[in-house]
Amino acid sequence: MAEGVPARGGLRERKKKATRSALVEAAVRLAAEHGVENVTVDAVSAAAGVSTRTFFNYFDSRDEVFVMIGAESGVRVRRAVLAAPAELSPLEALREALAAELQEVEQQQELWRLHAEVLGKNPPLLARTLGAHMSDELLLAETLAERVGAGSPLFDEDRPAHASPAEQDRRRALALYPRLLAAVGGTAVRVAVEHWCVRQTEAAFADVFRETFEHLAAGFPEPPFRTSAPAPDDHVRPAR
């Protein structure tokens, strides 16, 4: 997807990523089969082949394994944005950082689908997940602000992703551009994944992802797929 992107992290980091991924996958599959209410930390740990103590090295509670599913991914994206070559635009730096994290989408499509089903059946978990995503988006916006020289004095890479009473102050400290870019980037990923999931036989995910960001980089002009204006009969006739 992102040619020339090196493998990131040492052996220890890759092992941690693998363990965390195994716990998430075990939890999602158990919840999809038995319901979240019937899933225990012990069962998740056993299915992932680790101890319960190891589970709590990664998550504070059972629910967090569903809610904080992309927490470490967000950290890596933010670090990659800051480390990207200076000649890349902010959008390009964000695209490359996200591309490196999404290299396994085609192998994990089933797990993404199951996770969405689990959240859809559990409104409290869904609400917490959306809140976590918004907090992660704010952290990404702060990172982009730092890259473009509009950094906030509140910027702190190690800040936890949970919302806090100071969040409104952080939002006021951010300029519009980094906030918009972070939101657009997250939406672009979601749309690219959803679009590819229903058209897997037509294109590889990497191509869909690349095309999505090409639309953004081009300023979002209308593509040339409309050959003519809709005929009058295509519209609902006004009532007489």
pLDDT digit string, tens, across residues 106-151:
778 888 888 889 999 999 999 998 888 888 899 999 999 988 876 5
Tokens of 238: 């006004």
Per-residue pLDDT, 82: 92
3-state secondary structure 115-154: HHHHHHCCHHHHHHHHHHHHHHHHHHHHHHHHHCCCCCCC
Q: What confidence tier does 160 reach under pLDDT thresholds 50, 70, 90?
A: very low
The least confident of 30-34, 69-73, 76-80 is 69-73
Across the range 212-216, mean pLDDT stands at 94
Q: What percent of the chain has pLDDT over 70?
A: 79
Each residue of 182-211: pLDDT tens digit? 999 999 998 998 888 888 888 888 899 999
pLDDT band, very low/low/confident/very high, at 17 (cuts 50, 70, 90): confident
Domains and CATH numbers, the chain: 8-67 (1.10.10.60), 74-218 (1.10.357.10)
Q: Which DSSP string corresponds to 139-200?
A: HHHHHHHHHTT---TT--TTS-SS--TTHHHHHHHS-HHHHHHHHHHHHHHHHHHHHHHT-T
pLDDT at 167 over 80: no
- Per-residue confidence (pLDDT) for residue 2, from 0 to 100: 38
CA dist 50 and 34 (Å) reads 20
SS3 73: helix
